[in-house]
Chain A
């Protein structure tokens, strides 16, 4: 009885003692611990796991040069990233440095949550891509270090499937009327196969039993609909930030996209893609999709995962030409961090040619630091991949990327209706109008 008592007591004490220590090798717990022994840990939050690998090497080099600072990465899934970010910022539990895109950017900048990078690291500005600097300058101040810039949106294609079907991916045009000038639809049809082997343009094609998809039309802002609206000569947002996509040009674009999905069945059903942003990419990598429209953010994934010959073609041309959204991501600093100096040092490193070079030279993403970009193009040239379609060779016209202080709220407001539109349960005209009204209401 006594010995059992002692055992229980001992275990309890052990558990309680060990309890407050986290097992994860996060190199330190709270602020106090982190500054002990002269070592500071700066935490960095991102969502891209390809870039995470590059960052790890970059930060290893940084720590070699600055032995008293270690950098710890925190990878948060993109699907939850912008839900968690505002919560963590407001409760003071956000990382010292975190990526952000335009979704919450305006609100964060206005609330004083971000470090004024423009003043703190002003002399570095010249090394950064001007479009990125401009996108994240608000009220005259730059609120983060440009980390990545996505090139133009382009089309990855499966060489084998495309040759067999006799399709030239570089010459694709789409037209809302689906008339003679529309070559995208016939091409996608030829590239879509059902379980009986019939292609999308043959009679008897069963759209409910598709085994190979032609194209990845779907509810994807950056890869699909923002570009289609632009290529039709329309706009998603007015200069004041309000949403204007429900006009004729917008309707035509969305109608074309949803017809690809629900009428012609050349793209996966929204039931698969609405909640899974990687569905089409996975199908492409499995060799079950011929044309995959996406950006540089998937280039490494495709290179690592595709077991077939592939290449990159420019975005399909619309009535208004090849209009792409070009987006950047910044690394913002937490204004309330207790480790301001160390954080600024890491931010400076991220914005330096040397620090950003790891990202470019591993081909993970196109850095927004101008001098580090060539490494990216060189890497892919060495791999035998022609990445010119992501650059000017793919076109020069662009559409304004998402912006505005409450863009995130607006996007959340139109999201459910968009899902219904893509699922074919809500007609495009009324659906877009409702979505636009909801979104504009939310950003008031």
Chain B
């Protein structure tokens, strides 16, 4: 009897405490969702909802002036058969190939120079980041002047008249060069952080073993920089695929013979100049899918290669 009462009172008190726990959990959930409410609203309305709207727009024909008309898969057929979008993708891919390796390489090179302990390195490091702080659009306008064939600073400096932005062969490389100039300092900072975080005992060990600077770099520093390198590459590729502002400033309307007609620009002109919203929506969707694929592939590929146990 006594045992029964003891057991049931224990059971009662544990029910009581589990009730209290349940109430606490519910309150916590309520608090959590209250805290999340604004950002949830923001994300749903301004990120998730637009994606659904883009899908809807891609299935309709609209020029902003006339009423919206259903078009089924016509827009998809047109964009995929047109060749213009494919060309833009190709141009963007070339742009990425021009920019990313050079920007990463130069950034790494600058970082190795900056970590030699030379005087004024910290000042230089800050200086190199200046272009990254400024608006790409504004820098584009500045470079448009510098590269101007008649009144520009560059042609005045080299004494020749080169049509940097008007010559179809030079336009894309010029634009890529401006982008590299803008980003190198930013990349350098990452590599400097990466280099300075390499445990010195590893470098010491290498030196003792008789490795010269070159071998130390290739065999120790570079492999240990892989996480940084991969981060820089992944983010660089993603953001380069979306470049718009500087190209808009340097070579409006897609440049000479359309050689700088990158994807983001093409979508913008298609939507807000030609006012073919349906087709622009299709392009935007395709770009989105492409970027997701690239991101997932990069993450998968790189995550398998970036773990080093430095605990020894």
Q: What is the distance, in angstroms, from B280's C-beta to the closest C-beta of chain A?
A: 13
Q: Is the CB of A90 within 8 A of B65?
A: yes
A83, A274, A419, A425: the one contacting B272 at CB < 8 Å is A83
Q: Is the CB of A208 within 8 A of B161?
A: yes
CB-contacts of B34-67 with A (<8 A): 64-66
Binds B, one of A23-31, A37-45, A157-165, A265-273: A265-273
A423 surroundings in chain B (CB, below 8 A): 166, 256
B312 within 8 A of A: no
A415 surroundings in chain B (CB, below 8 A): 253
B64 surroundings in chain A (CB, below 8 A): 86-87, 90-91
A76 within 8 A of B: no
B161 surroundings in chain A (CB, below 8 A): 208-209
A83, A209, A269: the one contacting B163 at CB < 8 Å is A269
Q: Is the CB of B166 within 8 A of A107?
A: no
* Prevailing SS type, chain B contact patch: loop
Q: Is the CB of B256 within 8 A of A419?
A: yes
Q: What is the distance, in angstroms, from B143's C-beta to the closest C-beta of chain A?
A: 14
Q: What is the distance, in angstroms, from B295's C-beta to the closest C-beta of chain A?
A: 32
B273 within 8 A of A: yes
Q: What is the distance, in angstroms, from B269's C-beta to the closest C-beta of chain A?
A: 9
Indicate with 1 or 0, residue by residue over B240-275, a CB within 8 angstroms of chain A CB atoms: 000000000000111011100000000000001111
B256 surroundings in chain A (CB, below 8 A): 419-420, 423, 425
Q: What is the distance, in angstroms, from A25's C-beta to the closest C-beta of chain B?
A: 25
Q: Is the CB of B273 within 8 A of A274?
A: no
CB-contacts of A163-194 with B (<8 A): none
Could you tell me the distance between the alpha carbons of A425 and B66 in the complex, rounded to whole angstroms? Answer: 38
Task: Tell whether A425 pairs with B273 under 8 Å between CB atoms, given A271-B167, A272-B150, A274-B166.
Answer: no
B227 within 8 A of A: no
Indicate with 1 or 0, residue by residue over A70-108, a CB within 8 angstroms of chain B CB atoms: 000000000000010011011100000000000000010
A87 surroundings in chain B (CB, below 8 A): 64, 272, 275
Q: Is the CB of B257 within 8 A of A425?
A: yes
What is the total of A-B residue contacts with beta carbons within 8 Å?
49
Q: Is the CB of B65 within 8 A of A271?
A: no
Could you tell me the distance between the alpha carbons of A271 and B150 in the complex, rounded to whole angstroms? Answer: 9
A383 within 8 A of B: no
B149, B257, B272, B274: the one contacting A412 at CB < 8 Å is B274
A430 within 8 A of B: no
B131 within 8 A of A: no
Q: What is the distance, in angstroms, from A442's C-beta to the closest C-beta of chain B?
A: 9
A271, A420, A425: the one contacting B149 at CB < 8 Å is A271
Could you tell me the distance between the alpha carbons of A272 and B152 in the complex, rounded to whole angstroms? Answer: 11
Q: What is the distance, in angstroms, from A169's C-beta to the closest C-beta of chain B?
A: 25
Which A residue's beta carbon lies closest to that of B261?
A: A416
Q: Is the CB of A272 within 8 A of B257?
A: no
B163 surroundings in chain A (CB, below 8 A): 269, 271
Q: Is the CB of A272 within 8 A of B149?
A: yes
A36 within 8 A of B: no
Interface size grouping (class) on chain B: 20 to 34
Task: Tell whether A416 pairs with B65 under 8 Å between CB atoms, given A272-B149, A425-B168.
Answer: no
Q: By the criterion of a CB under 8 Å from any partner CB, how many residues of chain A are at the interface?
A: 27
Q: Is the CB of B258 within 8 A of A86?
A: no
Could you tell me the distance between the alpha carbons of A275 and B257 in the complex, rounded to whole angstroms? Answer: 13
B168, B257, B273: the one contacting A83 at CB < 8 Å is B273
Q: What is the distance, in angstroms, from B248's C-beta to the closest C-beta of chain A?
A: 12
Q: Is the CB of B166 within 8 A of A271?
A: yes
Q: Is the CB of A270 within 8 A of B166?
A: yes
Could you tell me the distance between the alpha carbons of A409 and B65 in the complex, rounded to whole angstroms? Answer: 14
CB-contacts of A226-271 with B (<8 A): 268-271
A3 within 8 A of B: no
Q: What is the distance, in angstroms, from B84's C-beta to the closest C-beta of chain A?
A: 12
Q: Is the CB of A86 within 8 A of B274?
A: no
Indicate with 1 or 0, residue by residue over B61-86, a CB within 8 angstroms of chain A CB atoms: 00011100000000000000000000
A270 surroundings in chain B (CB, below 8 A): 166
Which A residue's beta carbon lies closest to that of B275?
A: A86
B168 surroundings in chain A (CB, below 8 A): 425
Q: What is the distance, in angstroms, from A221's C-beta to the closest C-beta of chain B?
A: 16
Q: What is the distance, in angstroms, from B168's C-beta to the closest C-beta of chain A?
A: 7
CB-contacts of B149-173 with A (<8 A): 149-150, 161, 163, 166-168
Q: Is the CB of A269 within 8 A of B66?
A: no
Could you tell me the distance between the alpha carbons of A409 and B273 in the complex, rounded to whole angstroms? Answer: 10
A22 within 8 A of B: no
Q: Which of B168, B254, B256 has the most C-beta atoms of chain A within 10 angstroms of its own C-beta?
A: B256
A209 surroundings in chain B (CB, below 8 A): 161
A111 within 8 A of B: yes
Could you tell me the distance between the alpha carbons of A272 and B273 in the complex, rounded to whole angstroms? Answer: 24
Q: Is the CB of A269 within 8 A of B65?
A: no
Q: What is the distance, in angstroms, from B136's C-beta to the closest C-beta of chain A?
A: 19
Q: Is the CB of B273 within 8 A of A412?
A: yes
Q: Is the CB of A416 within 8 A of B149?
A: no
Q: What is the distance, in angstroms, from A185's C-beta to the closest C-beta of chain B?
A: 23
Indicate with 1 or 0, residue by residue over A321-333, a CB within 8 angstroms of chain B CB atoms: 0000000000000
Could you tell me the distance between the alpha carbons of A397 and B296 in the complex, rounded to whole angstroms? Answer: 66
Task: Tell whether A86 pairs with B166 under 8 Å between CB atoms, given A209-B161, A416-B257.
Answer: no
Task: Tell whether A416 pairs with B272 under 8 Å between CB atoms, given A91-B64, A269-B149.
Answer: no
Q: Which of A113, A208, A271, A425 has the most C-beta atoms of chain B within 10 angstroms of its own C-beta?
A: A271
Could you tell me the distance between the alpha carbons of A113 and B273 in the complex, rounded to whole angstroms? Answer: 18
Q: What is the distance, in angstroms, from A114's C-beta to the closest C-beta of chain B?
A: 12
Which A residue's beta carbon lies closest to that of B251?
A: A275
A268 surroundings in chain B (CB, below 8 A): 150
A–B Cβ pairs within 8 angstroms, 24 of them: A83-B272, A83-B273, A86-B65, A87-B272, A87-B275, A89-B65, A90-B275, A111-B65, A111-B66, A209-B161, A269-B149, A271-B166, A271-B167, A272-B149, A272-B150, A274-B166, A275-B252, A409-B274, A412-B274, A416-B254, A416-B257, A420-B256, A423-B166, A425-B257
Given A87-B64, A275-B252, 7 more A-B residue pairs with CB atoms under 8 Å apart are A87-B275, A91-B64, A269-B149, A271-B167, A274-B166, A279-B150, A416-B253
The residues of B with any CB-CB pair to A shorter than 8 Å are 64-66, 149-150, 161, 163, 166-168, 252-254, 256-258, 272-275
